[in-house]
Amino acid sequence: MQSTVCGKCGASWTSPDMFTEDLRSIVSSWVRAGNKILAMQHIRATSPLSYRDAQAIVLHITRERGACHRCGYPLTGEATDHCPYCQAVNYDW
């Protein structure tokens, strides 16, 4: 596991590099549906990450695929991406 630092908010957390594609899909769909707490609980139940790490991950998942969660700028298409405009970390799962 490695640490991730957001260039926009300055927060740091443990990278979710151990997440399966299914877990990413479930968590991102809950976030996009407005169920951030369920998404955090699922991360905590299925991974060794702390509450703080789970919260940071959920807060950095895109609300709309392909658009930065902070400024809405178009992303490059990577699963984990830094916004080219505001430098925020985005999990575009």
The pLDDT tens digits for 18-48 are 999 999 999 999 999 999 999 999 999 999 9
Can you tell me the distance from the alpha carbon of 84 to that of 41, in angstroms, rounded to the nearest whole number?
A: 30
Sort strands 12-14 and 80-82 into parallel, antiparallel or unpaired. unpaired
Structural tokens at position 23: 């877990």
The 10s digit of each residue's pLDDT in 45-88 is 999 999 999 999 999 999 999 999 999 999 999 999 999 999 99
Beta pairing class for 89-91 and 80-82: antiparallel
If you ran DSSP here, which 8-state letter would residue 65 be given? T
pTM of the entire predicted model = 0.94
Please count the other Cβ atoms lying within 10 Å of the Cβ belonging to residue 7: 11
Count of beta carbons in the 10 Å neighbourhood of residue 77: 9
